[in-house]
């Protein structure tokens, strides 16, 4: 973007209240419209005639001398040009009347340097560190100081929304999950729950001798978190993707138990049904990745289905036991979800990454005191677990799938890329807190 | 009987029937052929699971895991 403050003077370093401004070269970096548009930019319109194009050089390798000499150098593979001009001069390229390939932005070229700590740089850092330690020591040693670990809760349930819906920013997102099929493989679903009247629900049982009705509660709770309504008739919003199409696969019986056969059958059904998101709040406490789940995860991703699974609840951090990620979440091809509390710290039971490939926690979400749907007549229940964190991420995946069109590994990357980093070890929280897209659906 | 999941390699995904025949010939009772995943589930006599690995196209034979949720009234699930 062109800044109203005018062009930076080459080499100038100004010092202000927020520290030195970045050094600029006096050249501009121009970002061109989508690379699919192959029209040349109308450089002559802004008085530029010496233009080098990376496609004129072998392997797109533009020599430094050309960068020096040409008024504009276009890197075709990137859709970016380096231009020796005043920003005001280039503004004409962004106006509606400009012919040729459109220009998205014009920014001053910055001077970058190797990041080393010189003695001059260390001073402010050391002073800040000293002041921080002194402040912390003062607080901790003051009479009646609270213990350092008991930070104030940062989120809480309100009449509008649960703390989890707020923390993942689902209530601030315009995305709804509309048109996205979201499979929850669990204990089934209470199809009579009034909060889901009128929703598209496909239910299927893979448990011998049982229909898809939820006789436990766990499945209805997870579906509530992933897909619950925006405005329930009573109580706060507890669901993330409130317009997603619900695929309820019963792979765990009323007694809460299941085996690979039913779970794999459920995954096969979700993949065949073209569900971009498959939520699995289940697991076994085994350290080795289980080959069938690795193959299933890989082949699901290849067909556009992302499997998201609970890291496990086998930790007891209160007793110093960090636990480990169990199967199927410890397959590298399956996304593993850890559980956070209202202060965005790890829940005590949330399992830690294993050192083996695939055994890592990939992302985290609310999993402590989670309010959601429960089979009638109880209607609602508040429980905790990585089982409750997982459907938060599944709902968010549906929002991203809707707003970006991404599927499979690309959807995985989007969730991780967009997650909010936390002051928690990466072995516990992975890339941090999964969050919803800001806006709605991309045009 | 031992319940097993048999994972098929990428090269045999389009030819699962042949793998199923091979598994049956070695004594496996085949319950499900999951064509989207390339996984075949079923059961074999105790001690016979290892022999299934010799079937062309099989990359892994694994005894099925069980999953057990806590009861509905447990605070952590």
ipTM: 0.94
Q: How confident is the model at residue A7 (pLDDT cuts 50, 70, 90)?
A: very low
d(CA B60, CA A343): 43
pLDDT band at A123 (very low <50, low <70, confident <90, very high): low
- Domains assigned to chain B: 2-63 (3.30.70.80)
Spatial contact of A30 and A83, defined as CB atoms under 8 Å apart: yes
| A163-429: CATH number | 3.40.50.200
Q: Give me the DSSP letters along chain B.
A: -EEEEEEEPGGGGGGHHHHHHHHHHTT-EEEEEETTTTEEEEEE-TT-GGGGGGSTTEEEEEEPPEEEPPPTT-SB-
Phi, psi of A49 (to 5 degrees): -125, -25
Per-residue model confidence as pLDDT tens digits over A27-50 = 889 888 875 677 788 888 888 999
CA geometry: angle A15, A17, A22, nearest 5 deg: 45
Predicted confidence (pLDDT) at residue A1 exceeds the cutoff of 50: no
Catalytic one among A387, A403, A419, A431?
A387
Tell me the C-alpha to C-alpha distance, in Å, between residue A132 and each of A54, A123, A145: 50, 14, 17
pLDDT band at residue A318 under the 50/70/90 scheme: very high
State phi, psi for A293 to the nearest 5 degrees.
-70, -35
Distance of alpha carbon A110 from alpha carbon A107, whole angstroms: 9
The pLDDT assigned to A106 comes to 87
Query: Closest approach of chain A CAs to the CA of B57, in angstroms?
Result: 14
- Report yes or no: B63 and B21 within 8 Å, Cβ to Cβ: no
Neighbour-count burial for A106-129, b at 16+ CB within 10 Å, e otherwise: bebbeeeeeeeeeeeeeeeeeeee
Mean pLDDT, residues A154-169 taken together: 97
- Cα–Cα dist A99/B27, whole Å: 73
Q: Which two tokens stand for residue A234?
A: 């009573």
Mean pLDDT of chain A: 89
The predicted model gives A47-56 an average pLDDT of 90
Q: Which residues of chain B have pLDDT under 50?
A: none
What local confidence, expressed as pLDDT, does residue A116 receive? 62
Between chain A and chain B, the number of residue pairs with CB atoms below 8 A apart is: 109
Cβ distance B77 to A313 less than 8 Å, yes or no, reads yes
Is A387 an annotated catalytic residue? yes
Residue A296 has pLDDT above 50, yes or no: yes
Indicate the pLDDT class of residue A3, thresholds 50, 70 and 90.
very low
> Domain segments of chain A: what residues?
21-110, 163-429
The verdict on whether A218 is a catalytic residue reads: yes
Determine the Cα–Cα distance for residues A218 and A375; give it in Å rounded to an integer: 9
Please tell me the least confidently modeled range out of A38-42, A126-130, A396-400.
A126-130
Band of pLDDT at residue A95, cut at 50, 70 and 90: confident
Q: Can you give the C-alpha Rg of chain B in angstroms? A: 15
**Which residues numbered 3-62 in B keep a CB inside 8 Å of some CB on A?**
3, 5, 7, 31-32, 34-39, 41, 59-60, 62
For residue A112, give the DSSP letter. Answer: -
The pLDDT of A247-276, averaged and rounded, is 97
């Amino acid at each position: 973007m062109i800044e109203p403050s005018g062009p930076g003077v080459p080499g100038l370093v100004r010092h202000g209240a927020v520290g030195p401004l970045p050094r600029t070269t006096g050249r501009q970096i121009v970002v061109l419209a989508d690379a699919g548009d192959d029209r040349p930019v109308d450089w002559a319109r802004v008085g530029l005639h010496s233009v080098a194009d990376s496609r004129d050089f072998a392997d797109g390798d533009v020599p430094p001398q050309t960068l020096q000499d040409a008024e504009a150098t276009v890197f075709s593979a990137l859709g970016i040009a380096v231009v020796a001009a005043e920003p005001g001069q280039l503004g004409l390229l962004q106006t509606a009347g400009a012919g040729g390939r459109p220009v998205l932005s014009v920014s001053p070229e910055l001077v970058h340097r190797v990041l080393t700590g010189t003695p001059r740089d260390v001073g402010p850092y050391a002073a800040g560190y000293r002041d921080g330690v002194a402040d912390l020591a003062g607080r901790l040693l003051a009479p009646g100081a609270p213990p350092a670990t008991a930070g104030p809760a940062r989120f809480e349930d309100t009449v509008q929304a649960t703390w989890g819906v707020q923390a993942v920013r689902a209530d601030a997102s315009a995305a709804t999950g509309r048109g996205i099929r979201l499979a929850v493989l669990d204990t089934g679903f209470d199809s009579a729950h009034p909060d889901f009247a009128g929703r598209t629900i496909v239910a299927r049982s893979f448990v011998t001798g049982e229909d898809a009705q939820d006789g436990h509660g766990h499945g209805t709770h997870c579906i509530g978190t992933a897909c619950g309504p925006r405005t329930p008739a009573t109580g706060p919003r507890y669901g993330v993707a409130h317009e997603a199409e619900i695929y309820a696969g019963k792979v765990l019986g009323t007694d809460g138990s299941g085996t690979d056969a039913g779970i794999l059958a459920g995954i096969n059904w979700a993949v065949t049904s073209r569900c971009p998101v498959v939520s699995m709040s289940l697991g076994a406490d085994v350290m080795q990745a289980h080959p069938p789940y690795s193959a299933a995860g890989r082949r699901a991703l290849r067909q556009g289905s992302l499997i998201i699974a609970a890291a496990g609840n086998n930790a007891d951090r209160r007793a110093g036991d960090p636990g480990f990620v169990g199967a199927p979440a410890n397959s590298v091809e399956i996304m593993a979800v850890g559980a956070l509390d209202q202060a965005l710290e790890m829940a005590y039971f949330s399992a830690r990454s294993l050192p083996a490939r695939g055994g890592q926690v990939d992302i985290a979400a609310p999993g402590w005191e989670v309010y959601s749907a429960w089979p009638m007549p109880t209607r609602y229940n508040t429980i905790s677990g990585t089982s409750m964190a997982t459907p938060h991420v599944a709902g968010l995946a549906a929002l991203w799938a809707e707003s970006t069109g991404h599927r499979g590994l690309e959807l995985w990357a989007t969730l991780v890329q967009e997650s909010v980093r936390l002051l928690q070890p990466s072995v516990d929280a992975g890339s941090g807190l999964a969050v919803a897209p800001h806006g709605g659906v991309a045009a | 009987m031992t319940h097993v999941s048999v994972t098929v390699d990428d090269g045999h995904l389009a030819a699962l029937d042949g793998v199923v025949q091979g598994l049956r010939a070695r004594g496996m009772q085949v319950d499900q052929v999951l064509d989207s995943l390339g996984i075949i589930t079923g059961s074999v006599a105790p001690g016979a699971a290892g022999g299934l690995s010799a079937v062309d196209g099989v990359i892994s034979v694994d005894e099925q895991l069980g999953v057990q949720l806590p009861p509905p009234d447990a605070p952590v699930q």
